Each structure stands twice: as C-alpha cells, then as structure tokens.
Amino acid sequence: MPAIRARKDFWAGMLYVAFGLSALAIASGYPMGTTARMGPGYFPILLGAVLAMFGVAAIARSFMRYGEAIEPIAWKPLALVTVAVIAFAWLLPRLGLPLSLAVLILISASSSSHFKLGIKPLLLMVALIAFCVLLFIEALGVPMPLVGSWLKG
C-alpha cells in the first residue's frame, strides 16, 4: 500500500467524502425529479456527489505529493469557542440577545493569543451586537428576546 504523503489533504478528503456520503444518504429518501422538473432531492444529491468526488480527488492527491506536517491540535481555542457557543445558547433566553452575544464574543475572542481588551475591541463588539440585533430581530423577525428572563423584574 502506498504511503500517505500529505496527511492534511488525506484527512480533508476523508471529511469531504464523509459529508458527501451523508448528504447522499439523507437526500436519498427525497424524490429526485428530472433536470427539467427538479425534485427536492435533486440539489442535495448533486451537491453530495460533487463533495464526495472532491474528497476522492483530495485523497488521491495526498498519495502523490508531499504536504506539510499536521500541527498539533490547539485545544485551548477549540475548548473556548465550544464553551462560548454553549454559553450563548444557554444564556440567550436568560439574558437576551445583546448580553448573550457579548459573552459569546468575549469568550471566543479570548481564545486568541493576540486578543487584548481595549476600547477598539469593545467598540467593535458593540457595533457587532447592534448589527446582529437589527438584522435578526428587526429585519428578519427572528423571535429572540432582547431582555432575558433573569433581567425582567
């Protein structure tokens, strides 16, 4: 068996194949239709097949050319971003969208070694929160609380 020369390409290809085959499996229950009258399964099946083919190509390429070594997993950023998303989901009904977003942004930003809390990051955070509130609550009408249950007296 030939040796894997580019491990990043190999594992990226495996991920593409896994997602592509998953999309094919999920969409296989939907009617395909024809090219002229596409059914609900047409696009997911097509997209899953293309993704799987890209994965096979990446896997094949990983045997043919040398790539850079895989770096060790950065556990701190992975853990902090995961905790930030879980905290956002848990805090959203309790604190409301603006404060939950602030917690999400601060926790996930602290995962970077380059992050320093100052006036510019705080202003950017306020602008991002305002944009999200305007976009999701006002423009799109997503039912998210501005003020959560903990803050309602």
pLDDT given at position 1: 65
**Which pLDDT value is given to residue 42?**
94
Q: Please tell me the pTM assigned to this model.
A: 0.65
Give the model's pLDDT for residue 116. 92
Q: How confident is the model at residue 8 (pLDDT cuts 50, 70, 90)?
A: confident
Residue 101 near residue 137 (C-beta atoms within 8 A): no
Region at 74 (left for phi over 0; alpha for psi -120 to 50; beta for the rest): beta
Cα–Cα–Cα angle for 73, 79, 83, rounded to 5 degrees: 160
With bands split at pLDDT 50, 70 and 90, how would you rate the model's confidence at 66?
A: confident
Query: Whole-number mean pLDDT of the chain?
Result: 93
Average pLDDT value for residue range 86-111 = 97
Looking at the predicted structure, is the pLDDT value of residue 153 above 80?
A: no
- The answer to whether residues 91 and 148 touch, using CB atoms and an 8 Å cutoff, is yes
